[in-house]
Amino acid sequence: MNSPVSESFFNELVELLSLERLEDNLFRGQSRDIGTKYVFGGQVLGQALSAAQATMDAASGPRDAHSLHGYFLRAGDIDAPIVYSVDRTRDGGSFSVRRVTAIQHGKPIFFLAASFQQHEQGAEHQVSMPDVPKPEDLEPSPTLSPEQMAKLPSKVQRWLSRQGPFEFRHVYPRDELNPPKRPPFQQVWFRLSERVGDAAELHRALLAYASDFHLLGTATFPHGISYYQPDVQMASLDHALWFHRAFRADEWLLYSIDSPSAQGGRGLARGQIFDRNGRLVASTVQEGLIRVVGADKADIPLHPKG
């Protein structure tokens, strides 16, 4: 049974993704502090998708989002609402395109382009899901002692002490406070901690939100660094997401992630998301800033030594 605390975070997330409609193509969303210095990128991604989905007219028939591409332009202010302006770029015979601009303090902080497709039959194939333990055979991440927490920066304390709406179980756990160097891949089971309704639009917005967790961090694995370290700066630059098959965000999904490259202060990470029956339901790619600052930065190269 989940605690009232986890239920409150769950209800808050669903409310965050249910935007206030100001005009036909104009929406307003709020933010939640989950321990990041600025607005969590997954929140903006999920809200922008929610705004785009809200402009799909029933007259054109059922059309589901199949891909989205977003660019993070400015850091979001947690204490201010975000306005989402949707441009109904095209409604064709089978596909529709929406462009969304997220605005704070009169400036764009995020752009999104999303494509929607009418239901259609076609050829199918997919890669196989990695052979990993089932989520119920894995332990939840251990919590830190009060003494360990007291030694961490305040932003990291907030992040680690959060009781978020998603549950994560790592196939290969890593000590983020003392990260070892290891190959740039990981698998993480995740699911929403409470059951939610059947609306496919909500499940896609929830998956967009959750897809920002653990993705870019995989690019730090070969270098023995972590977002939790005070001299490491990390931020999403862009994010792409493709929806392949129907899924539920409140049932276990496997996030299989790898990072093919890090260079020039940037890292690239790719993810494949499977349901527990092995169906590939979504794919992701993200590039982000990975920068080590301070006097010790020369000792932590962001590229493997040949």
| Least confident range of 10-24, 25-39, 120-134, 211-225 | 25-39
Query: Which domain CATH number covers 262?
Result: 2.40.160.210
More confident residue, 193 or 157: 193
pLDDT interval class at 303 (50, 70, 90): very low
E strand residue ranges, 59-218: 63-72, 82-91, 95-104, 107-118, 166-170, 185-192
pLDDT interval class at 60 (50, 70, 90): low
Kindly state whether residue 235 falls inside one of the protein's structural domains: yes
CA distances from 133 to 129, 138, 139, 188, 280 (A): 12, 7, 11, 10, 17
Boundaries of domain holding 171: 4-118+142-299
Place of tokens 């979001």: 76
CA distance 28 to 5: 26
Kindly state whether residue 130 falls inside one of the protein's structural domains: no
Kindly state whether residue 238 falls inside one of the protein's structural domains: yes
pLDDT interval class at 176 (50, 70, 90): confident
DSSP class of residue 213 equals S
CA distance 46 to 48: 6
| Least confident range of 5-19, 83-97, 176-190 | 5-19
Annotation marks residue 236 as catalytic: yes
Alpha helices, H only, the chain? 4-17, 41-53, 146-150, 154-161, 200-210
Q: Which of 43, 193, 283, 286 is catalytic?
A: 286
CA distance 232 to 58: 47
**pLDDT tens, position by position, 107-150:** 999 999 999 999 999 999 999 999 999 999 998 876 766 776 67
Annotation marks residue 18 as catalytic: no
Kindly state whether residue 123 falls inside one of the protein's structural domains: no
In this prediction, what percent of the chain has a pLDDT beyond 70?
85
Kindly state whether residue 306 falls inside one of the protein's structural domains: no
The answer to whether 112 and 100 are in contact (CB under 8 A) is yes
CA distance 72 to 133: 35
Chain mean pLDDT for the chain? 88
Domains held by the chain: number: 1
CA distance 220 to 213: 14
In this prediction, what percent of the chain has a pLDDT beyond 90?
72
**pLDDT tens, position by position, 75-86:** 999 999 999 999
CA distance 14 to 16: 5
| Least confident range of 65-69, 116-120, 202-206, 299-303 | 299-303
Give the pLDDT mean for 211-226.
95
Kindly state whether residue 171 falls inside one of the protein's structural domains: yes
The answer to whether 62 and 119 are in contact (CB under 8 A) is yes
Annotation marks residue 77 as catalytic: no
Q: Which of 104, 236, 256, 283 is catalytic?
A: 236
Q: Which of 115, 212, 272, 283 is catalytic?
A: 212
Phi, psi of 230 (to 5 degrees): -65, -20
The answer to whether 97 and 90 are in contact (CB under 8 A) is yes
Q: 10 Å Cβ neighbour count for 270?
A: 17
**pLDDT tens, position by position, 31-54:** 887 767 789 999 999 999 999 999
- Note the pLDDT of residue 301: 45
CA distance 176 to 192: 23
Kindly state whether residue 125 falls inside one of the protein's structural domains: no
Kindly state whether residue 202 falls inside one of the protein's structural domains: yes
